[in-house]
């Protein structure tokens, strides 16, 4: 198996952790902690609107390590409900793969359920697993075009719309 292949002969080869999403109660305090204490740089802020999709977020990065800090904006938003159910902390871990479709098929054959279909943007392909009831974690499978570093607004919107339709968080 080549190191960069996502799925070969039923074996998965994750390339790296693309990012870790952290659900927080107070985004501004989290940004201050990650920048002033840990030394991460604020790369980008994003705001998503919707009754159950409302979220503000900040992308923090240092030496290729990326955290996405997320705060719900309404009591019914997915991030707020996640914190109510599991507390603040790691919401999902994004695993980089070459081929999201193949990885979803392989993990599905192993029993992993998905809250979204494969979301395809011009430079970003993603799928999100159902949340593990034991750990509270969800996994994102992600493939980026080589020049795509950030998160595409259309992908984020589609993610939240799919989660809203399915009632997942």
pTM: 0.82
CA 57 from centroid of its chain's CA atoms: 12
CATH 3.40.50.720 is held by the domain 14-166? no
Residue 10 pLDDT = 55
For 111-149, the pLDDT digits (tens) are 999 988 898 877 788 999 998 888 888 999 999 877 665
Domain range annotation of the chain: 14-166
Indicate the SS3 state at residue 37. helix
Beta strand pairing status for 138-144 and 89-96? parallel
For 21-38, the pLDDT digits (tens) are 999 999 999 999 999 999
For 30-83, the pLDDT digits (tens) are 999 999 999 999 999 999 877 667 889 999 999 999 999 999 999 888 889 889
């Amino acid at each position: 198996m080549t190191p960069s292949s996502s799925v070969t002969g039923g074996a998965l080869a994750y390339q790296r952790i693309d990012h870790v999403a952290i659900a927080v109660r107070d985004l501004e305090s989290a940004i201050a902690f990650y920048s002033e204490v840990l030394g991460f740089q604020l790369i980008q802020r994003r705001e998503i609107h919707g009754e159950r999709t409302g979220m503000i977020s900040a992308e923090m990065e240092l030496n290729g390590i990326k955290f996405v800090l997320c705060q719900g904006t309404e009591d019914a938003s997915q991030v707020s409900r996640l914190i109510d159910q599991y507390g603040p902390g790691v919401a999902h871990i994004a695993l980089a793969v070459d081929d999201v479709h193949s990885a979803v098929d392989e993990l599905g054959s192993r029993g992993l359920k998905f809250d979204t279909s494969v979301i395809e943007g011009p430079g970003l392909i993603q799928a999100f697993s159902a949340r593990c009831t034991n750990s509270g974690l969800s996994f994102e499978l992600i493939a980026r075009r080589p020049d795509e570093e950030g998160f595409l607004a259309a992908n984020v919107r589609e993610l939240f719309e799919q989660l809203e339709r399915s009632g997942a968080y």
